[in-house]
Protein backbone atom coordinates (compact mmCIF):
# COMPACT_ATOMS: atom_id res chain seq x y z
CA UNK A 1 0.00 0.00 0.00
CA UNK A 2 1.40 3.40 -0.96
CA UNK A 3 2.00 6.19 1.56
CA UNK A 4 0.43 9.14 -0.27
CA UNK A 5 -3.07 7.78 -0.63
CA UNK A 6 -5.77 10.33 -1.55
CA UNK A 7 -7.07 10.30 2.04
CA UNK A 8 -3.67 10.78 3.68
CA UNK A 9 -2.68 13.47 1.16
CA UNK A 10 -5.84 15.43 1.95
CA UNK A 11 -5.21 14.99 5.70
CA UNK A 12 -1.63 16.22 5.32
CA UNK A 13 -2.62 19.24 3.20
CA UNK A 14 -5.29 20.08 5.76
CA UNK A 15 -2.76 19.88 8.58
CA UNK A 16 -0.40 22.23 6.72
CA UNK A 17 -3.15 24.82 6.26
CA UNK A 18 -4.56 24.44 9.79
CA UNK A 19 -1.19 24.56 11.56
CA UNK A 20 0.01 27.56 9.55
CA UNK A 21 -3.09 29.48 10.60
CA UNK A 22 -3.05 28.27 14.20
CA UNK A 23 0.65 28.80 14.92
CA UNK A 24 0.78 32.16 13.12
CA UNK A 25 -2.21 33.33 15.16
CA UNK A 26 -0.70 32.17 18.46
CA UNK A 27 2.60 33.92 17.75
CA UNK A 28 0.87 37.17 16.76
CA UNK A 29 -1.35 37.00 19.85
CA UNK A 30 1.72 36.70 22.10
CA UNK A 31 3.17 39.91 20.62
CA UNK A 32 -0.22 41.67 20.78
CA UNK A 33 -0.77 40.85 24.48
CA UNK A 34 2.76 41.89 25.41
CA UNK A 35 2.41 45.13 23.40
CA UNK A 36 -0.97 45.82 25.01
CA UNK A 37 -0.08 45.06 28.63
CA UNK A 38 3.72 44.95 28.83
CA UNK A 39 3.21 42.05 31.23
CA UNK A 40 4.63 38.55 30.79
CA UNK A 41 2.42 37.53 33.72
CA UNK A 42 -0.79 38.42 31.88
CA UNK A 43 0.37 36.51 28.81
CA UNK A 44 1.37 33.43 30.84
CA UNK A 45 -2.05 33.54 32.55
CA UNK A 46 -3.82 33.50 29.18
CA UNK A 47 -1.64 30.61 27.98
CA UNK A 48 -2.25 28.65 31.18
CA UNK A 49 -6.01 29.18 31.01
CA UNK A 50 -6.03 28.17 27.35
CA UNK A 51 -4.36 24.84 28.21
CA UNK A 52 -7.03 23.81 30.72
CA UNK A 53 -9.79 22.96 28.20
CA UNK A 54 -7.35 20.77 26.27
CA UNK A 55 -6.34 18.83 29.39
CA UNK A 56 -9.93 18.40 30.61
CA UNK A 57 -11.64 17.73 27.28
CA UNK A 58 -9.07 15.54 25.46
CA UNK A 59 -10.49 12.26 26.89
CA UNK A 60 -13.93 13.31 25.63
CA UNK A 61 -12.34 14.10 22.27
CA UNK A 62 -11.02 10.55 22.16
CA UNK A 63 -14.49 9.15 22.86
CA UNK A 64 -15.96 11.27 20.06
CA UNK A 65 -13.19 10.19 17.66
CA UNK A 66 -14.15 6.53 18.18
CA UNK A 67 -17.94 7.03 18.12
CA UNK A 68 -18.54 9.46 15.26
CA UNK A 69 -17.47 9.83 11.63
CA UNK A 70 -13.90 11.17 11.88
CA UNK A 71 -14.10 13.01 8.57
CA UNK A 72 -17.16 14.94 9.73
CA UNK A 73 -15.58 15.63 13.14
CA UNK A 74 -12.44 17.15 11.60
CA UNK A 75 -14.34 19.21 9.02
CA UNK A 76 -16.81 20.51 11.62
CA UNK A 77 -14.09 21.39 14.14
CA UNK A 78 -12.01 23.31 11.59
CA UNK A 79 -15.11 25.13 10.35
CA UNK A 80 -15.97 26.05 13.96
CA UNK A 81 -12.36 27.20 14.52
CA UNK A 82 -12.63 29.46 11.48
CA UNK A 83 -15.95 30.86 12.73
CA UNK A 84 -14.50 31.42 16.22
CA UNK A 85 -11.56 33.38 14.79
CA UNK A 86 -13.89 35.50 12.65
CA UNK A 87 -16.02 36.28 15.72
CA UNK A 88 -12.81 37.14 17.58
CA UNK A 89 -11.88 39.60 14.84
CA UNK A 90 -15.33 41.18 15.07
CA UNK A 91 -15.11 41.39 18.89
CA UNK A 92 -11.67 42.97 18.59
CA UNK A 93 -13.04 45.71 16.34
CA UNK A 94 -15.81 46.48 18.87
CA UNK A 95 -13.43 46.82 21.85
CA UNK A 96 -12.55 44.59 24.80
CA UNK A 97 -9.33 43.50 23.12
CA UNK A 98 -7.76 41.51 25.97
CA UNK A 99 -11.00 39.70 26.81
CA UNK A 100 -11.57 38.89 23.13
CA UNK A 101 -8.10 37.39 22.78
CA UNK A 102 -8.43 35.38 25.99
CA UNK A 103 -11.83 33.94 25.07
CA UNK A 104 -10.62 33.12 21.55
CA UNK A 105 -7.55 31.22 22.81
CA UNK A 106 -9.68 29.22 25.26
CA UNK A 107 -12.20 28.41 22.49
CA UNK A 108 -9.47 27.23 20.10
CA UNK A 109 -7.95 25.12 22.87
CA UNK A 110 -11.31 23.46 23.54
CA UNK A 111 -11.79 22.67 19.84
CA UNK A 112 -8.20 21.40 19.62
CA UNK A 113 -8.92 18.92 22.41
CA UNK A 114 -11.32 17.15 20.04
CA UNK A 115 -9.24 17.67 16.88
CA UNK A 116 -5.89 16.19 17.93
CA UNK A 117 -7.09 12.70 19.02
CA UNK A 118 -9.17 12.48 15.83
CA UNK A 119 -6.22 13.29 13.55
CA UNK A 120 -3.99 10.82 15.41
CA UNK A 121 -6.67 8.12 15.13
CA UNK A 122 -7.04 8.72 11.37
CA UNK A 123 -3.41 7.90 10.49
CA UNK A 124 -3.56 4.14 11.32
CA UNK A 125 -7.02 3.97 9.72
CA UNK A 126 -5.69 5.43 6.45
CA UNK A 127 -2.35 3.59 6.34
CA UNK A 128 -0.96 0.18 7.24
CA UNK A 129 2.33 -1.54 8.08
CA UNK A 130 5.48 0.58 8.02
CA UNK A 131 3.54 3.41 6.35
CA UNK A 132 1.88 4.16 9.70
CA UNK A 133 5.32 5.09 11.09
CA UNK A 134 6.15 7.06 7.95
CA UNK A 135 2.78 8.80 8.10
CA UNK A 136 3.26 9.80 11.74
CA UNK A 137 6.73 11.06 10.82
CA UNK A 138 5.29 13.23 8.03
CA UNK A 139 2.62 14.70 10.32
CA UNK A 140 5.37 15.48 12.84
CA UNK A 141 7.50 17.09 10.11
CA UNK A 142 4.58 19.32 9.13
CA UNK A 143 4.15 20.37 12.78
CA UNK A 144 7.87 21.08 13.21
CA UNK A 145 8.12 22.98 9.91
CA UNK A 146 5.06 25.04 10.79
CA UNK A 147 6.55 25.97 14.16
CA UNK A 148 9.75 27.01 12.35
CA UNK A 149 8.08 29.15 9.67
CA UNK A 150 5.19 30.75 11.55
CA UNK A 151 7.20 33.01 13.91
CA UNK A 152 8.58 34.83 10.87
CA UNK A 153 5.19 34.84 9.13
CA UNK A 154 3.35 35.96 12.27
CA UNK A 155 5.86 38.71 13.03
CA UNK A 156 5.75 40.01 9.45
CA UNK A 157 1.94 40.01 9.21
CA UNK A 158 1.44 41.49 12.68
CA UNK A 159 4.03 44.24 12.12
CA UNK A 160 2.67 45.16 8.69
CA UNK A 161 -1.09 44.76 9.10
CA UNK A 162 -1.92 44.26 12.80
CA UNK A 163 -3.70 41.47 14.66
CA UNK A 164 -7.02 41.75 12.80
CA UNK A 165 -5.36 40.82 9.50
CA UNK A 166 -3.69 37.84 11.17
CA UNK A 167 -7.07 36.71 12.50
CA UNK A 168 -8.64 36.90 9.04
CA UNK A 169 -5.74 34.95 7.53
CA UNK A 170 -6.01 32.27 10.24
CA UNK A 171 -9.77 31.98 9.68
CA UNK A 172 -9.14 31.44 5.96
CA UNK A 173 -6.63 28.67 6.78
CA UNK A 174 -9.14 26.87 9.01
CA UNK A 175 -11.90 27.12 6.38
CA UNK A 176 -9.56 25.77 3.65
CA UNK A 177 -8.71 22.85 5.95
CA UNK A 178 -12.40 22.10 6.53
CA UNK A 179 -13.03 22.13 2.77
CA UNK A 180 -10.15 19.69 2.15
CA UNK A 181 -11.37 17.35 4.89
CA UNK A 182 -14.82 17.15 3.29
CA UNK A 183 -13.25 15.09 0.47
CA UNK A 184 -11.68 12.48 2.79
CA UNK A 185 -13.37 9.08 2.57
CA UNK A 186 -13.21 6.89 5.68
CA UNK A 187 -15.23 3.84 6.62
CA UNK A 188 -17.57 4.45 9.53
CA UNK A 189 -19.89 2.01 11.28
CA UNK A 190 -22.29 3.75 13.69
CA UNK A 191 -22.22 2.42 17.25
CA UNK A 192 -25.59 0.83 18.04
CA UNK A 193 -25.23 1.00 21.80
CA UNK A 194 -27.79 3.18 23.53
CA UNK A 195 -27.74 5.12 26.78
CA UNK A 196 -27.31 8.55 28.26
CA UNK A 197 -24.34 10.68 27.20
CA UNK A 198 -22.60 10.37 30.57
CA UNK A 199 -23.11 6.58 30.68
CA UNK A 200 -21.68 6.19 27.18
CA UNK A 201 -18.67 8.42 27.91
CA UNK A 202 -17.97 6.67 31.22
CA UNK A 203 -18.32 3.26 29.57
CA UNK A 204 -15.98 4.16 26.72
CA UNK A 205 -13.30 5.57 29.02
CA UNK A 206 -13.60 2.54 31.30
CA UNK A 207 -13.21 0.22 28.29
CA UNK A 208 -10.05 1.97 27.10
CA UNK A 209 -8.62 1.94 30.64
CA UNK A 210 -9.33 -1.80 30.98
CA UNK A 211 -7.66 -2.37 27.63
CA UNK A 212 -4.48 -0.59 28.72
CA UNK A 213 -4.41 -2.08 32.22
CA UNK A 214 -5.30 -5.71 31.41
CA UNK A 215 -4.94 -6.50 27.70
CA UNK A 216 -2.00 -4.24 26.85
CA UNK A 217 -0.23 -3.19 30.06
CA UNK A 218 2.78 -2.43 27.87
CA UNK A 219 0.83 0.44 26.29
CA UNK A 220 0.03 1.90 29.71
CA UNK A 221 3.64 1.60 30.87
CA UNK A 222 4.88 3.17 27.63
CA UNK A 223 2.46 6.06 28.18
CA UNK A 224 3.67 6.59 31.74
CA UNK A 225 7.31 6.26 30.72
CA UNK A 226 6.87 8.80 27.93
CA UNK A 227 5.24 11.17 30.43
CA UNK A 228 8.14 10.87 32.90
CA UNK A 229 10.78 11.37 30.19
CA UNK A 230 8.80 14.33 28.80
CA UNK A 231 8.67 15.89 32.27
CA UNK A 232 12.48 15.92 32.49
CA UNK A 233 13.45 16.72 28.90
CA UNK A 234 10.65 19.19 28.11
CA UNK A 235 11.26 20.92 31.45
CA UNK A 236 14.97 21.28 30.76
CA UNK A 237 14.59 22.49 27.19
CA UNK A 238 11.47 24.67 27.38
CA UNK A 239 12.58 26.48 30.54
CA UNK A 240 16.35 26.13 30.27
CA UNK A 241 16.80 27.28 26.69
CA UNK A 242 15.54 30.86 27.02
CA UNK A 243 16.84 31.21 30.59
CA UNK A 244 20.37 30.03 29.79
CA UNK A 245 20.67 32.08 26.58
CA UNK A 246 19.11 35.31 27.78
CA UNK A 247 19.81 35.36 31.55
CA UNK A 248 22.80 33.14 32.29
CA UNK A 249 24.80 34.01 29.15
CA UNK A 250 23.28 37.49 28.78
CA UNK A 251 22.89 37.24 25.00
CA UNK A 252 20.45 39.22 22.87
CA UNK A 253 17.08 38.07 21.57
CA UNK A 254 18.72 37.55 18.18
CA UNK A 255 20.85 34.76 19.60
CA UNK A 256 17.78 33.20 21.21
CA UNK A 257 15.86 33.41 17.93
CA UNK A 258 18.72 31.64 16.14
CA UNK A 259 18.80 28.97 18.85
CA UNK A 260 15.05 28.36 18.55
CA UNK A 261 15.30 28.12 14.76
CA UNK A 262 18.12 25.59 15.06
CA UNK A 263 16.00 23.50 17.42
CA UNK A 264 13.12 23.61 14.93
CA UNK A 265 15.42 22.30 12.20
CA UNK A 266 16.52 19.52 14.56
CA UNK A 267 12.89 18.50 15.16
CA UNK A 268 12.33 18.26 11.40
CA UNK A 269 15.53 16.22 11.01
CA UNK A 270 14.37 13.84 13.72
CA UNK A 271 11.03 13.27 11.99
CA UNK A 272 12.73 12.81 8.62
CA UNK A 273 15.16 10.26 10.05
CA UNK A 274 12.28 8.16 11.36
CA UNK A 275 10.60 8.18 7.95
CA UNK A 276 13.85 7.20 6.23
CA UNK A 277 14.66 4.39 8.70
CA UNK A 278 11.12 3.07 9.14
CA UNK A 279 12.00 -0.51 8.18
CA UNK A 280 15.03 -0.71 10.47
CA UNK A 281 13.80 0.85 13.70
CA UNK A 282 13.16 -1.80 16.37
CA UNK A 283 11.09 -1.26 19.50
CA UNK A 284 13.65 -3.24 21.53
CA UNK A 285 16.22 -0.50 20.84
CA UNK A 286 13.96 2.43 21.69
CA UNK A 287 15.68 2.78 25.07
CA UNK A 288 18.76 3.98 23.17
CA UNK A 289 16.82 7.02 21.98
CA UNK A 290 16.08 7.94 25.60
CA UNK A 291 19.74 7.33 26.51
CA UNK A 292 21.04 9.55 23.68
CA UNK A 293 18.63 12.33 24.71
CA UNK A 294 20.10 12.14 28.23
CA UNK A 295 23.68 12.04 26.96
CA UNK A 296 23.00 15.11 24.83
CA UNK A 297 22.64 17.21 27.99
CA UNK A 298 26.13 16.29 29.26
CA UNK A 299 28.21 18.60 26.98
CA UNK A 300 25.96 21.55 27.90
CA UNK A 301 26.38 20.74 31.61
CA UNK A 302 30.17 20.55 31.25
CA UNK A 303 30.24 23.85 29.30
CA UNK A 304 28.50 25.63 32.18
CA UNK A 305 30.65 23.89 34.79
CA UNK A 306 33.91 25.03 33.18
CA UNK A 307 35.03 28.64 32.66
CA UNK A 308 34.23 28.56 28.94
CA UNK A 309 33.60 31.75 27.00
CA UNK A 310 30.09 33.05 26.39
CA UNK A 311 29.99 32.20 22.68
CA UNK A 312 31.61 28.80 23.22
CA UNK A 313 29.02 27.96 25.88
CA UNK A 314 26.24 29.14 23.56
CA UNK A 315 27.45 26.95 20.69
CA UNK A 316 27.74 23.87 22.93
CA UNK A 317 24.31 24.57 24.45
CA UNK A 318 22.63 24.85 21.04
CA UNK A 319 24.37 21.71 19.73
CA UNK A 320 23.38 19.74 22.85
CA UNK A 321 19.75 20.85 22.87
CA UNK A 322 19.41 20.33 19.10
CA UNK A 323 20.63 16.73 19.44
CA UNK A 324 18.22 16.20 22.33
CA UNK A 325 15.36 17.69 20.26
CA UNK A 326 16.21 15.53 17.25
CA UNK A 327 16.12 12.37 19.36
CA UNK A 328 12.96 13.44 21.25
CA UNK A 329 11.18 14.01 17.93
CA UNK A 330 12.13 10.51 16.75
CA UNK A 331 11.23 8.97 20.11
CA UNK A 332 7.79 10.61 20.15
CA UNK A 333 6.94 9.29 16.68
CA UNK A 334 8.18 5.76 17.46
CA UNK A 335 6.26 5.61 20.76
CA UNK A 336 3.05 6.93 19.17
CA UNK A 337 3.29 4.42 16.33
CA UNK A 338 3.88 1.53 18.76
CA UNK A 339 0.81 2.54 20.77
CA UNK A 340 -1.28 2.80 17.59
CA UNK A 341 -0.03 -0.61 16.43
CA UNK A 342 -1.15 -2.29 19.64
CA UNK A 343 -4.52 -0.54 19.90
CA UNK A 344 -7.64 -1.82 18.09
CA UNK A 345 -9.22 0.67 15.71
CA UNK A 346 -12.35 1.08 17.86
CA UNK A 347 -10.21 2.38 20.77
CA UNK A 348 -7.54 4.37 18.90
CA UNK A 349 -9.10 7.79 19.47
CA UNK A 350 -9.59 7.26 23.21
CA UNK A 351 -6.09 5.85 23.77
CA UNK A 352 -4.46 8.65 21.74
CA UNK A 353 -6.43 11.13 23.85
CA UNK A 354 -4.80 9.61 26.95
CA UNK A 355 -1.42 10.12 25.25
CA UNK A 356 -2.21 13.77 24.52
CA UNK A 357 -3.57 14.48 28.01
CA UNK A 358 -0.65 12.83 29.80
CA UNK A 359 1.83 14.79 27.71
CA UNK A 360 0.05 18.06 28.46
CA UNK A 361 -0.02 17.30 32.19
CA UNK A 362 3.63 16.17 32.41
CA UNK A 363 5.15 19.17 30.65
CA UNK A 364 3.80 21.91 32.98
CA UNK A 365 5.01 19.91 36.00
CA UNK A 366 8.49 19.74 34.48
CA UNK A 367 8.41 23.44 33.64
CA UNK A 368 7.47 24.40 37.22
CA UNK A 369 10.18 22.16 38.70
CA UNK A 370 12.90 23.34 36.34
CA UNK A 371 11.84 26.96 36.67
CA UNK A 372 12.56 26.70 40.41
CA UNK A 373 15.79 24.75 39.84
CA UNK A 374 17.28 27.18 37.32
CA UNK A 375 16.45 30.08 39.65
CA UNK A 376 18.22 28.53 42.64
CA UNK A 377 20.94 26.16 41.34
CA UNK A 378 23.87 26.64 38.95
CA UNK A 379 23.04 25.47 35.42
CA UNK A 380 25.65 22.71 35.42
CA UNK A 381 24.07 21.12 38.53
CA UNK A 382 20.69 21.14 36.84
CA UNK A 383 21.82 19.74 33.48
CA UNK A 384 24.23 17.01 34.64
CA UNK A 385 21.92 15.37 37.24
CA UNK A 386 19.05 15.57 34.72
CA UNK A 387 21.22 13.73 32.20
CA UNK A 388 22.03 11.08 34.81
CA UNK A 389 18.34 10.58 35.68
CA UNK A 390 17.30 10.21 32.03
CA UNK A 391 20.15 7.74 31.41
CA UNK A 392 19.12 5.73 34.46
CA UNK A 393 15.52 5.60 33.20
CA UNK A 394 16.68 4.46 29.75
CA UNK A 395 18.83 1.55 30.90
CA UNK A 396 16.51 0.48 33.71
CA UNK A 397 13.75 -0.02 31.09
CA UNK A 398 15.90 -1.97 28.61
CA UNK A 399 14.10 -5.22 29.48
CA UNK A 400 10.68 -3.58 29.10
CA UNK A 401 11.43 -2.48 25.53
CA UNK A 402 12.77 -5.94 24.68
CA UNK A 403 9.51 -7.54 25.89
CA UNK A 404 7.47 -4.90 24.04
CA UNK A 405 9.13 -5.94 20.76
CA UNK A 406 7.95 -9.57 21.05
Judge if 237 and 147 occupy the same domain. no
- Give the DSSP letter string of 77-139: HHHHHHHHHHHHHHHHHHS-HHHHHHHHHHHHHHHHHHHHHHHHHHHHHH--THHHHHHHHHH
How many angstroms separate the CA atoms of 308 and 33, rounded? 37
Give the domain CATH number at 277.
1.20.1250.20
Kindly state the percentage of the chain with pLDDT values over 70: 91
Residues 39 and 118 in one domain: yes
Domain co-membership, 224 together with 330: yes
Question: How much helix, strand and coil, in percent to the nearest 5, is found in the chain?
Answer: 85, 0, 15
Q: How far is CA 204 from the centre of its chain?
A: 24
Instruction: Note whether 149 and 230 are same-domain residues.
Output: no
Flag whether 256 is in a domain: yes
Q: What is the pLDDT of residue 260?
A: 76
Q: Could you say which DSSP state residue 247 is in?
A: I
Verify that 68 and 178 share a domain, yes or no: yes
Task: Specify whether 188 is located in the same domain as 319.
Answer: no
For CA atoms 299, 305, 306, 312, give the dihedral sign: positive
Q: Identify the domain containing residue 374 by its residue range.
A: 207-404
What number is the average pLDDT over the span 317-343?
Answer: 86
* Count of helices and strands (H, E) across the chain: 14, 0
Same domain, 167 and 256: no
User: Which among 289, 326, 313, 336 has a CA at the least distance from the CA of 134?
Assistant: 336
Rounded CA separation 122/210 (Å): 22
End-to-end CA distance of the chain: 24
- Residue 199: inside a domain, yes or no? no
* Judgement on whether residues 336 and 384 belong to the same structural domain of the protein: yes
Confidence (pLDDT) at 193: 58
In a domain, 302, yes or no: yes
Query: What integer pLDDT is reported at residue 47 of this predicted model?
Result: 67
In the prediction, which pLDDT does 101 show? Answer: 86
Residue 393 lies in a domain: yes
Cα 283 from Cα 280, distance rounded (Å): 10
Orientation angle between helical segments 40-67 and 6-37, nearest 10 degrees? 160
**Residue ending a domain, choose from 143, 161, 192:** 192
pLDDT of residue 64: 81
pLDDT higher than 60, residue 241: yes
DSSP for 291-355? HHHHHHHHHHHHHHHTT--HHHHHHHHHHHHHHHHHHHHHHHHHHHHHHHHHS-GGGHHHHHHHH
Band of the pLDDT at 301, cuts 50, 70, 90?
very high
Per the domain annotation, does 1 fall within a domain? no
Q: Is residue 154 part of a domain?
A: yes
Mean pLDDT, the chain, whole residue set: 83
For position 278, what pLDDT does the model report? 63
Q: Does residue 392 or residue 278 have the better pLDDT?
A: 392
pLDDT at 406 over 60: no
User: What does 353-404 look like in DSSP terms, one character per residue?
Assistant: HHHHHHHHHHHHHHHHHHHHHHHHS-THHHHHHHHHHHHHHHHHTHHHHHHH
Q: 99 vs 385, which has greater pLDDT?
A: 385
pLDDT at 48 over 80: no
Both 33 and 140 in one domain: the answer is yes
From 192, 223, 257, the end of a domain falls on 192
- Regarding predicted confidence, which is higher, 400 or 406? 400
pLDDT given for residue 284 in this prediction: 78
279 and 390 both lie in a single domain: yes
Q: How far apart are CA 220 and CA 214, in angstroms?
A: 9
pLDDT of residue 300: 93
Structural domain count of the chain: 2
Given a cut of 60, whether residue 195 has pLDDT beyond it is no
109-143 pLDDT tens trace: 889 888 888 888 888 889 888 888 888 888 888 88
Query: Is residue 211 domain-resident?
Result: yes
Average pLDDT over residues 250-266: 79
Pairwise CA distance, residues 284 & 307, whole Å: 40
Return d(Cα 168, Cα 171) in angstroms, integer: 5
Same domain? For 317 and 262 the reply is yes
Residue scoring higher pLDDT (405 or 333): 333
In angstroms, rounded to a whole number, what is the distance separating the alpha carbons of residues 344 and 354? Answer: 15
Residue 128 lies in a domain: yes
**Of 168, 192, 216, which residue constitutes the final position of a domain?**
192
DSSP letter at 249? S
pLDDT at 405: 65
pLDDT band of residue 72 (cuts 50, 70, 90) is very high
Residues 271 and 378 in one domain: yes
Amino acid sequence: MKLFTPNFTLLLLGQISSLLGNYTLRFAVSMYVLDLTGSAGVYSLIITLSMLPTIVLSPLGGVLADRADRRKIMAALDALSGAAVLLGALWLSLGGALTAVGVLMVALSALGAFESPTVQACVPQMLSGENVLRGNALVSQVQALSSLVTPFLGAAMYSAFGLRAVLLGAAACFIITAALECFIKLEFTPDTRRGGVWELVRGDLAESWRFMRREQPGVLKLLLLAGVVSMFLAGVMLVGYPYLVRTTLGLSSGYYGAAESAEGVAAIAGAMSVGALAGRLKTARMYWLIAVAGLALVPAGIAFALPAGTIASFVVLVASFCLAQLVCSALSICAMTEIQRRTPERLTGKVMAFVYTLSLCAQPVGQLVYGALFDTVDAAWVLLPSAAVVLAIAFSERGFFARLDL
